[in-house]
Homo-oligomer: A and B are copies of this chain.
Amino acid sequence: MSTEKLLTPGPVCLHPAARKALAAPQIHHRSQPAEKVLASLRENARLAAATTGETVVITGSGTAAMTALATGLFAPGDRVWVPVAGKFSERWAEIARSAGLEPLITDYEWGQAADPADVPEGVQGALLTHSETSTGVLQPLKELAAAVRARNPRALVVADAVTSFLLSELRMDDWQVDALAIGSQKGLMSPPGLGLALLGPRALSALRPAGYYLNLDRELTAQKRGQTAYTPAINLVAAAAAVLEEIMTAGLSAHLSRKQEFNERFYQIGLSAGLKPVPQEAASRSPATAAFFLPEEAPANAFSGPMLARGWRIAGGQGPLKGKIFRISAMGYLNDAELEKAYTDFEEVLRGL
């Protein structure tokens, strides 16, 4: 259908283990092989996020997981801090409002990292964005969570880890992060359509039944028994479980180092060509994607066009950064030769402009 390869910050090129799982015949979700992949995905996700809590698998996107967390962990009227510094932190604010919560928003320039000093008192929770995919900024999640808890001992810290899971270090329990939302089409190198909600011990205590389809409490009860409340996207569960199993078996920390190094190479190539990164500080570059401002007066497709001509799809900007930036990501699966080719093509395209 399409021969282009994705260097977009999700969806990404599929891991071979995902492709193998997707090529298998349909399995029934009430069968032993299905229970096995569900259990494997739940257990390995919990280990990868370093929590003693639970994983809830959601048939829906990462946004479905975010919505389920906002409605399942808070009650209408609850005040939640939302530092807004890009499209996905804006989404948290929208989700909070839609759930009847009262978001206390601190606005940052897109490209800036949220500042722990800005955490207010008097909130029941915080909705954070670990890796803000729209700007390529990795937020200081550990420091933000510590500040939230220091000023609001009973508050729940919930983070969008959609593009940090399996890409950047995540230590839920150590960092006092109570819940995470994850999507299948990023670090899991699987097709989109599956969300994960990670719940730490305090989130498990706070969880209450809310809504019908996106009801984490009901799902968790079913999933602890090896089932799901409703028919799950079991093919996507099998794909994500297979990829995660491989990553965990090979070693998560080596995987994270490699992903960071891959991303840093894109940054080095862009910096050498004189491009300005979107993240304001080098320390806040998310390993999920490199993000650069386009040169002054360059058209939006200045790089995406030539890259596509070479068979690579990269991404543009979103919201106020539309037409002003581009994003290139090594989050997906590329073999060594493909990866080298991606770097070479990127370098040549930048030189060509």
Contact = CB atoms under 8 A, between A and B. Distances in A.
Given A8-B28, A213-B67, A231 B61 contact: yes
Nearest to A333: B26
Among A67, A193, A194, A238: residue with most chain B CB under 10 A: A193
Interface in A8-41: 8, 10-14, 19, 21-29, 31, 33
Given A31-B313, A61-B59, A193-B233, A212 B26 contact: no
Interface stretch (A93-101, A167-175, A199-207, A343-351): A93-101
A89 interface: no
Contacts of A24: 1-2
Given A1-B238, A212-B94, A214-B213, A232 B28 contact: no
Contacts of A276: none
Contacts of A230: 61-64
A60 B61 CA distance: 8
Contacts of A112: none
B2 A33 contact: yes
Interface string A173-195: 00000000001010000011110
State the number of copies, please: 2
Nearest to A209: B98
Nearest to A237: B193
B1 A193 contact: no
A235 interface: yes
A235 B190 CA distance: 10
Given A59-B193, A193-B194, 14 more contacts: A1-B238, A3-B25, A11-B27, A22-B23, A26-B332, A59-B60, A60-B60, A60-B213, A62-B230, A94-B212, A98-B212, A192-B232, A193-B193, A213-B214
Interface in A227-243: 230-236, 238
A5 interface: yes
A61 B195 CA distance: 13
Given A95-B212, A99-B212, A22 B25 contact: no
Contact of A233 (B98, B233, B332): B233
A6 interface: yes
A211 interface: yes
Contacts of A21: 1
A111 B230 CA distance: 22
Contacts of A95: 212
Among A95, A194, A213: residue with most chain B CB under 10 A: A213
